[in-house]
A and B are shown apart, each in its own frame.
Chain A
């Protein structure tokens, strides 16, 4: 890959403002996500992490500013450009957001069916591989979302997000509500997928362990803006919230693990 392609950001957000009524969520927010990195987004509740994710994937209108994803302006683009974008990104929602009337395999096939022209046997084959990739047994494919556990729903949601091999993967709290073992497995999974599929991952999370384990850089939402850097860089930032976050007991515990490993 040419060097320019490496440095060229896959997402570029400039001068973003978000306002709900008189409540300002983001003001003059700037962020660049580099190709091939795992970016963890953290912040206190109500700082607009999920809102930011929703704005990037076009589910939420921005008040002002620009969001550029894969060279396309999300805030203002035509239907065709949107189609291409949707094919090149995958979004995993918190609870998996599986369509409840479809089986897990059919859920994975929804984007394939909608955006490609593969025959059914090929779709089945893709669904089978994706299921195995996210660590689900083949017979999970025939089950309905109501018949599987929360952790399995998340995995199935990830499989659906990965159905068309996106370049960019959005994860909304992927490890929230999982037991530590499943959460570790999920971290490993993301790490492996990133290595084999060359993914760029934008991950909203609260899980300090997964921040330490898999994120290349961390973006912190404070004071309506974003401070971004590697873990070590952020430790040096002179901001009370950031200090509290990484130097608090939980933060130290997670970092301690890192040093021991």
Chain B
């Protein structure tokens, strides 16, 4: 506390003085020296005590003498006006001895509407309920516009399918590099670690039953059907989906998107389609890559802790894990990619107004695409279970 106030004290300049003198029903307050921020701060409590003193009631004629004031700033002038206003409640109060500039300042402050700044509207419990409703309706609206965006995207896809020459190959390739190749290190690292941890934890349980070798079935089927692709999709949603939103959102703030429209370029064709196609094309190999690395991590851990050699792992894998498990996993990737890219671009185009909106939409984009990916994954699980795969 001491340190804090020391930090706040100003340079050791002289302070102004404040001297009230009562004489019967007359009150004279003499101010001298500089009346600026430090002075007002120094006398703040004394002045407040003085202004709330009940004996002030007897002061029928008050004079505030400012002839000795060398410097008057706004804060000083506010203090003087407040004092006058306070003394004026009991009788006459005037300010005397103001110099030209000070006079103008005091007059200016007195002339301002004394209406205080209205406090920001308070939230009542009814407002809270209303907010809940607004939130729910907002979700409904957003879902509707997302469906609308899906429709728009389909139309543009159809149009491009008829005129494939309008596809922007350069842009697609550039995005493929960004969302695919550049994502490989992080996807690979995380997939490897998940493979290692999964084997370590479940292998420990299996070994209690002497069934250590079955780790191969568990890892093989678990990774190929679910984990490899799901983990990849979540990483890509966080990494590339958010980037799509931020990129397009920033372009919207810069009015680049508006500029495109006025030139006759369709932002859907120029910005959205290349990203969607690039992500669909890259999530397939990226998912496969993650599968392989995750299984490799599992194999490494199995040989280190469970004593399952690499040769045993491969033999068991061939016999236990049917090829269709791989397809079950891989067939989901284009759908996940489509959802992630669509949600990312949708929120990018939803950005409006300030840079703050870019942040909000990016958060929304990541949350929604991860939610949709997991929901879609659950749906796929039901479908595959129904058809007996």
Contact = CB atoms under 8 A, between A and B. Distances in A.
A127 B116 CA distance: 9
Given A128-B116, A131-B117, A165 B74 contact: yes
Interface stretch (B36-44, B214-222, B249-257, B364-372): B36-44
B74 A197 contact: yes
Given A100-B356, A126-B78, A130-B74, A87 B10 contact: yes
A129 B117 contact: no
Contact of A124 (B40, B71, B117): B117
A185 interface: no
A132 B74 CA distance: 12
B82 A125 contact: yes
B182 interface: no
A197 B115 contact: no
A179 to B, nearest CB: 20
Interface in B16-43: 36-37, 40-41
Contact of B41 (A103, A117, A141): A117
Given A116-B37, A132-B112, A198-B101, A141 B8 contact: no
Interface residues of A, number: 34
A180 interface: no
A127 B36 contact: no
B354 interface: yes
A238 interface: no
B11 interface: yes
Contact of B105 (A128, A162, A196): A196
Contacts of A141: 117-118
Interface size class of B (residues with CB under 8 A): 20 to 34
B356 to A, nearest CB: 5
A195 interface: yes
A197 B40 CA distance: 16
Interface in A178-198: 195-198
A84 interface: yes
A227 interface: no
Interface in A24-54: none
Given A122-B44, A164-B37, A83 B101 contact: no
B117 to A, nearest CB: 3
A142 interface: yes
B2 to A, nearest CB: 13
A122 B48 CA distance: 11
Contacts of B7: 83
Interface in B104-122: 104-105, 108-109, 112-113, 115-121
A122 B44 CA distance: 9
Contacts of B120: 103, 142
Contacts, number: 80
Given A126-B74, A164-B37, A138 B101 contact: no
B117 A105 contact: yes
Interface in A181-224: 195-198
Contacts of A103: 120
Interface string A145-183: 010000000000000001011000000000000000000
A83 B40 CA distance: 19
A1 B26 CA distance: 34
Contacts of B11: 84
B118 A138 contact: yes
A197 B73 contact: yes
Given A84-B10, A129-B78, A162-B74, A138 B117 contact: yes
A133 B11 CA distance: 27
Contact of A139 (B78, B109, B112, B117): B117
B289 to A, nearest CB: 40
Contacts of A116: 8, 37, 41
Contacts of B119: 142
B13 to A, nearest CB: 10
A105 B117 CA distance: 8
Contacts of B37: 87, 116, 164-165
A115 interface: yes
Interface of A: 83-84, 87, 100, 103, 105, 115-119, 122, 124-133, 138-139, 141-142, 146, 162, 164-165, 195-198
22 contacts: A83-B7, A84-B11, A103-B120, A116-B41, A117-B5, A117-B41, A126-B75, A127-B117, A128-B112, A128-B116, A128-B117, A131-B117, A132-B112, A132-B113, A142-B118, A146-B354, A164-B75, A165-B36, A165-B74, A196-B104, A196-B105, A198-B101
Given A129-B109, A138-B115, A142-B121, 4 more contacts: A138-B118, A142-B117, A196-B101, A196-B105
The 9 A-B pairs of least Cβ separation, nearest first, read A141-B117, A165-B73, A132-B112, A196-B105, A142-B120, A105-B117, A138-B115, A138-B117, A165-B74
